[in-house]
Amino acid sequence: MAEKPRVATASLCGCFGCHMSLLDIDERILQLVDLVIFDRTPLTDIKTLGDCDLGLIEGGVANAENVEVLREFRRRCKSLVAVGACAVNGGIPAMRNQFSLAECLHESYRDGIGVHNPGIPNDPEIPLLLDQVHPIHEVVAIDYFLPGCPPSADAIWTFLTRFLEGRPIAFPYTQIHFD
Amino acid sequence: MNKTFTLDGREIHFETGQTIMDAALAAGVYIPHLCHNPEFAPHGSCRVCVVDIGGRQVSACTAAASEGLQVDSSSEAIQATRRAILQMLFVEGNHVCPACEKSGACQLQAVAYYTGMLAPHFTHFFPRRPVDASHPDVVIDFNRCILCELCVRASRDHDGKRVFAISGRGLESHLVIDSPSGLLGDSSFAAGDKAAHVCPTGAILPKGRGYETPIGERLYDREPINIIGDVRAHEEEVV
Ligand code: SF4
Ligand code: SF4
Ligand code: FES
C-alpha cells in the first residue's frame, strides 16, 4: 500500500479559530488520523516541516516569520490551502492596514489607554512586523481557498474528504460563508 | 403580438422597451445584479449582470430585449466573468465580512456565493476610507461602497433631495455627501428616506440594530439569492 498522504498545518496571523474548527470535526478526527499522517502542525507540536501532500494555512501574513513559514510550506507542500478569512483576505488583522505601522505601535505601546512602562518592544527575537497585513495568495501561489471565520468543521471535512478521495472540490451552499 | 427571446434555452416573453433584465425578472428568472433595482432607472455600472449574446458581452440591465436573441446567462464562462468582476469589487474596497453587520444579508456577498467566488484572487488595494457616524440614525461606511449609485438615484429621484453624488474619476471615484461639512449628519438625509433602504452592501446601515439576527437565520444563510431575491424585497420585513 502506498504511504498515507502527509498533512501539515500552520497558524500565521490568525487567532487559532480555524485550527479549533478543524478539531470541531469531533470523532471524525479518528477517521482522519487513519487516512493521513500529520507532519508539522500545532496539533502534533512537530516543529520541522517535511515533504507533504497537503498544507493548511490559517492566518494572513503580518510579520517576517509569517513570510518565512509560508514560503517553506509552499516549497514543501504539493497543495496549499488558504483556510479562513485571514488567510483568504487578511481578515480582522488586516484592519490595521487603515493605519501606518507607527500609528499602530504608538497606540499599542505608547499612547493607548492603560499603557504602563511605555516603549515599543525591540527584542531581536521578536519577528519584525510588515507595514501591512496581506492575504497569503499575495505572497505565494495558493491551490485552494476555504473561506469562513472560521470555516465550519463540516466545510473543512468536505474539503479534506474530497481532496483525499481525489474528487473535485465542491461544497453545499450552506458550508460557504465569508464570516 | 407575442415577442420572445431565448435565455439559457428558455423562451422569455417581453414587451417593446423592456431590457433583458426587465423581461427576465418578470418571468421569474434570476440574472445576478447589484446596481439594478427595478424601482430606478438602470445604471449599468456594476457589470455583474453580464450576459453573452452571440459572443458579445453586454449588461442585461441596460441591453434592450429584442426578438429572437439567444442570451447566455449561466455558462461557466459567464459565471467566471462575473466572479472576476466581483473579485475586483472586493479588493477595491475593504470588505471584512466577519466585522460587518450586513453579513449574511448582504447582496454583494450573496451574489459572490451564487457565482461560486471563494476568494478575492487579486491584490488588495486596502484603500484608506472613512466611516461617517455623524448622523443620529444612520452610519455610512465608505469602505463597503461599490459605487452602484442606488443611494444617489433614490435620493434624487424618489426623495427629491440629492444627498449623494459620485465625485472623481476612475480609481479616484468616491461617494460624496451634499452638506457644508461633507458629513451625513449635516445633510438633509433622514432614516425614513428611500436612500436609506436601497444599499446592496453594508455601506449604509441603521444605527442601534447590529447583529440582530442569529447566524444561521440571516437572509442568505440557508438559500441562495436566486431563490431568496434581493435585499430590497425583504426591507419591509426588518424596518
Ligand atoms: S458589505 Fe457585504 S461583502 Fe462587504 S464586508 Fe459587509 S457583508 Fe461583507
Ligand atoms: S453607499 Fe451603497 S447604495 Fe450608495 S453607492 Fe455605495 S454601495 Fe451603492
Ligand atoms: S446590474 Fe446591470 S450593470 Fe449592475
Question: In this structure, what CATH number is given to the domain that contains residue A62?
Answer: 3.40.50.700
For residue A1, what are the contacts with CB-CB under 8 A and spacing of at least 6? none
Sole residue written with cell 466577519: B98
pTM of whole model > 0.90? yes
- Determine the Cα–Cα distance for residues A15 and A5; give it in Å rounded to an integer: 27
Alpha helices in B180-224 (DSSP H): none
Say if A131 is an interface residue toward chain B (CB within 8 Å): no
What local confidence, expressed as pLDDT, does residue A3 receive?
Answer: 87
- Residue range(s) defining the domain that contains residue A26: 6-95+129-175
Q: What is the pLDDT of residues B103-151, one digit of tens each?
A: 999 999 999 999 999 999 999 999 999 999 999 999 999 999 999 999 9
Instruction: Say whether residue A82 is in contact with chain B using an 8 A CB cutoff.
Output: yes
pLDDT at B1: 62
Sheet containing B3-7: give its strands across.
Answer: B10-14, B3-7, B70-72, B50-53, B56-59
Of A97, A98, A178, the CB nearest to B103: A178
Helix axes A153-164, A28-35, angle to 10 degrees: 30
- Domains held by chain A: number: 1
Phi, psi of B225 (to 5 degrees): -65, -25
- Which pLDDT score is estimated for B233? 79
CB contact B123 to A (< 8 Å) = yes
B36 lines ligand 3 (CB under 6 A): yes
- Residue B236: the pLDDT is 53
Domain range summary for chain B, segments of one domain joined by +: 3-74, 87-238
The one-character DSSP state at B156 is I
> Is residue A63 domain-resident?
yes
State the pLDDT confidence band at A81, using cuts at 50, 70 and 90.
Answer: very high
**Per-residue pLDDT in tens (0 to 9) along chain B, 239 residues:** 689 999 999 999 999 999 999 999 999 999 999 999 999 999 999 999 999 999 999 999 999 999 999 999 999 999 999 999 999 999 999 999 999 999 999 999 999 999 999 999 999 999 999 999 999 999 999 999 999 999 999 999 999 999 999 999 998 999 999 999 999 999 999 999 999 999 999 999 999 988 899 999 999 999 999 999 998 877 654 44
Nearest CA to B163 among B182, B143, B144? Answer: B182
Domain B87-238: which topology? Alpha-Beta Plaits (3.30.70)
CB contact under 8 A, B215 and A147: no
Residue B73 identity (one-letter amino acid):
S
Q: Which of B97, B121, B128 sits opposite A179 (nearest CB)?
A: B97
Strand partners, A60: A13
> CATH topology for B3-74?
Ubiquitin-like (UB roll) (3.10.20)
For residue B157, count CB atoms less than 10 angstroms from its CB and return exposed for 0-12, middle for 13-18, buried for 19 or more: middle
CB proximity list for B43: less than 8 A, separation 6 or greater: B35, B36, B61, B148, B149, B150, B153
Answer for the pair A84, A14: CB distance below 8 angstroms, yes or no. Answer: yes
**The predicted structure's pLDDT at residue B234:** 78
Chain-chain contact of B98 with A89 (C-beta, under 8 angstroms)? no
- Please classify residue B29 by burial: count the beta carbons closer than 10 Å to its beta carbon, then call 0-12 exposed, 13-18 middle and 19+ buried: middle
Contact B33, B25 (CB under 8 A): no
**Taking CB atoms and an 8 Å limit, are B121 and A179 in contact across chains?**
no
